[in-house]
Chains A and B, each alone.
Chain A
């Protein structure tokens, strides 16, 4: 058995690695890193210029501490039309500018040189000088063609004293830039090797050591953030899962009885109807009907209400928890009931025609005994696999329910992280969900072997 478990785990690891890596790399390839929008407000005029510079500095610091200034992967393939130092240029606005320069004039080295000299010139300007050339600097950053660039640089040269070294350098490099012309260098790929100092390597080695990184929003470790949220989701899922399973089983037993014709003709259409109501509509409907002063205020509406629960006994705490969790749980149970009941009913009905059931009936056993003792155990076998698939799938339901009822769980955390583009937290949730599914499949396999002696002997 241990052998079997080990093999399953070994097979699942590549899957886990593949999907986590794919999402990690995808998330990094897309533009718009966390916090870069913050920097783009620079020209809003609300802050003074020095403030913007310090923000620029703090953004770089932020990138450095979170390791986002490193190259993404072990190697990179770019077009030869771009300078190789491109990935070291921050913020993204500057990177796009340098990219545009080297694309437009076809000489990556000259473009990089010009870009650097422009930056040094800008840094050496005093406040009044900056005021003078502000307009031309802006023209350089947004120029369309070579004539525009030339005009702007000559305008800057005429306004500033020409003795300055950085200014001369800027003019020279701009001339060199303008002299070049775009050929077909961009057709050539250029491969660069970055070694182990890259974001992917750091992330993966951190993951292997059990560290999920730190949240970009508040700088806390992702494991802590997840740990706070996971308890609520876990209990919500587990309790509603238990209720849904028990209810579905009882309903299926009611329907499979010989006298259950009336149950069949009422429950099956009702469940079919219920199945076509999406979960969020169901939740909003129940919220409007049952937790609303305008209609019926049976349940508290939002959140967990745990501000007052510190000094209470555990019974009071539990009752308060139940009060807040009742409606979300009802929603989850109702949403999953049709599918589960249908599966249970199908499994039971398939067993009902077997010979040994006829024998059991012929022995004169009561209907109750026949169903509970003889049918249920055999019918449950296929349902075990179903349940193991079901628990992780309910995570999706939890996302919706937690958002609607404002329960601080993993689902809400995911929505918040997605809206804020907090990738470490998103990655953490992906890994947790995938591991959760993996474990539940493993447990299902074990349960299967425990329930069915044939499989046990086969596996051994």
Chain B
């Protein structure tokens, strides 16, 4: 972490573009956070049907209402407040989604890189018992609670199923493992193909372009913010996982890691103390690149009006307004510029960090 601070400091002094990008991002974040206290005349979803398609920077005011500084859209919604609140929405979706996706990707990728295909030995009996335990857990821990939820059950029922889920699956695993160990085939230990499994999973997910996959899944799930975030996490973790796996493979061959291995440290200690600090920086670069991609994807989805509800304030929704009136150039120019600038700032930031990291090697 200290190292990162040094990198940022050095870049701040040498690269003016990096300084600009960072300033812009910090400013945008500050405005988005301070929104409730800003003196905005109009709310983002407030309709002003007397002043539709107002051009921006119109200085003359006919009514006694306050001015729309950046114009209005077809329903009289204020462009300025939509842009500011849109920034808020964009970051409240993309930051947690990317953080979660990076965490999943980092964990899975690092595990796959560390264990490979034949380093993690598990007993077959335990695996088989775990599989059965997982099925039980899925029934009591996932299926029944959703059922109970849809029927409006009370707390006692949820508690009961929760206890049943943990108890039954644990009991099954504990009871079945010694039992399975008596069978000749299940008695042996066999390598667990971690790497192969991860690669197959990624292959399945990337066999369809991400946007198409999200569109298809958005047709299935209800258009809520939570569902959309889950979809985005499920489709975004693959990039980080690939990167973390490749980095882990590289780190594993380095002398210091071999030395640590030969000292007989546990796998957990190897992973956490020796590999993770080296993985963090590339993952950070992937994080900010991914954030830019996520911002674009989120606004594209709200532009297409798929997967999000129409009352979600977003840059994409504002740009979609131009499709009904192509003369209203400000509806695409202003939100489009803000969106592009944000993406540009994020990409500049990650580009410089990436370059410094590569130069150091």
Q: Which residues of A contact B (CB under 8 A)?
A: 15-16, 18-19, 23, 26-27, 30, 77, 79, 99-100, 103-104, 184, 186-187, 189, 272-273, 275-281, 284-285, 287-288, 292, 294-295, 301, 392-393, 395-396, 399-400, 403-404, 414-415, 417-419, 421, 423, 426, 429-430, 433-434, 437-438
Contacts and interface: CB of A to CB of B under 8 A. Distances in A.
Contact of A437 (B160, B208, B322, B348): B208
Interface in B210-231: 210-212, 215-221
B319 A79 contact: no
Contacts of B91: none
Chain B interface SS verdict (over half): helix
B296 interface: yes
A30 B215 contact: no
A280 B303 contact: yes
Given A399-B211, A415-B304, A278 B139 contact: no
Contacts of A434: 207-208
Interface stretch (B25-33, B120-128, B169-177, B331-339): B331-339
Contact of B220 (A30, A415, A438): A30
A186 B221 contact: no
Nearest to A103: B151
B36 interface: no
Contacts of B220: 23, 26-27, 30
Contacts of B333: 285, 288
A11 to B, nearest CB: 9
Nearest to A437: B207
Given A276-B341, A288-B332, A430-B208, 11 more contacts: A15-B203, A99-B151, A273-B344, A279-B300, A284-B322, A292-B327, A396-B210, A396-B211, A415-B306, A433-B208, A433-B209
Given A276-B292, A279-B300, A294-B326, A415 B208 contact: no
B139 to A, nearest CB: 6
Contacts of B319: 280-281, 284
A281 B326 contact: no
Given A284-B336, A430-B216, A419 B221 contact: no
Given A279-B300, A288-B322, A396 B209 contact: yes
Contacts of B347: 272, 275-276
Nearest to A187: B164
A299 to B, nearest CB: 12
Contacts of B144: 79, 186-187
A189 B144 CA distance: 10
Interface of B: 139-140, 143-144, 147, 151, 160-161, 164, 200, 203-205, 207-212, 215-221, 292, 296, 299-300, 303-304, 306, 316, 319, 322-323, 326-327, 329, 332-333, 336, 339-341, 343-344, 347-348, 351
Contacts of B140: 187
A418 B218 contact: yes
A285 B6 CA distance: 40
Contacts of B299: 278, 280
A438 B207 CA distance: 8
Contact of A414 (B161, B215, B327, B336): B215
B277 to A, nearest CB: 29
Contact of A418 (B207, B209, B215, B322): B215
A438 B221 CA distance: 27
B327 A187 contact: no
A284 B340 CA distance: 13
A189 B332 contact: no
The 5 closest A-B pairs by CB, nearest first: A396-B211, A276-B344, A281-B336, A418-B219, A276-B343
Contacts of B143: 77, 79
A404 B320 CA distance: 10
B139 A418 contact: no
Nearest to A22: B204
B160 A400 contact: no
Contacts of B215: 399, 414-415, 418
A30 to B, nearest CB: 5
A208 B147 CA distance: 35
Nearest to A186: B144
Contacts of A429: 212, 216
A243 to B, nearest CB: 20
A276 B144 CA distance: 46
Contacts of B161: 187
Contact of B332 (A284, A393, A421): A284
A108 to B, nearest CB: 13
A19 B207 contact: yes
A214 B231 CA distance: 28
A19 B339 contact: no
A14 to B, nearest CB: 8
A421 B219 contact: yes
B207 A27 contact: no
Contacts of A99: 151
B326 A278 contact: no
Contacts of A279: 300
A278 B340 contact: yes
A325 to B, nearest CB: 19
A429 B216 CA distance: 9
29 contacts: A19-B207, A19-B208, A23-B216, A30-B220, A77-B139, A77-B143, A79-B144, A187-B144, A275-B347, A276-B343, A277-B340, A277-B343, A278-B299, A278-B336, A279-B300, A280-B300, A281-B339, A281-B340, A284-B323, A288-B329, A294-B326, A396-B211, A399-B211, A414-B216, A415-B306, A430-B216, A433-B208, A433-B212, A434-B208
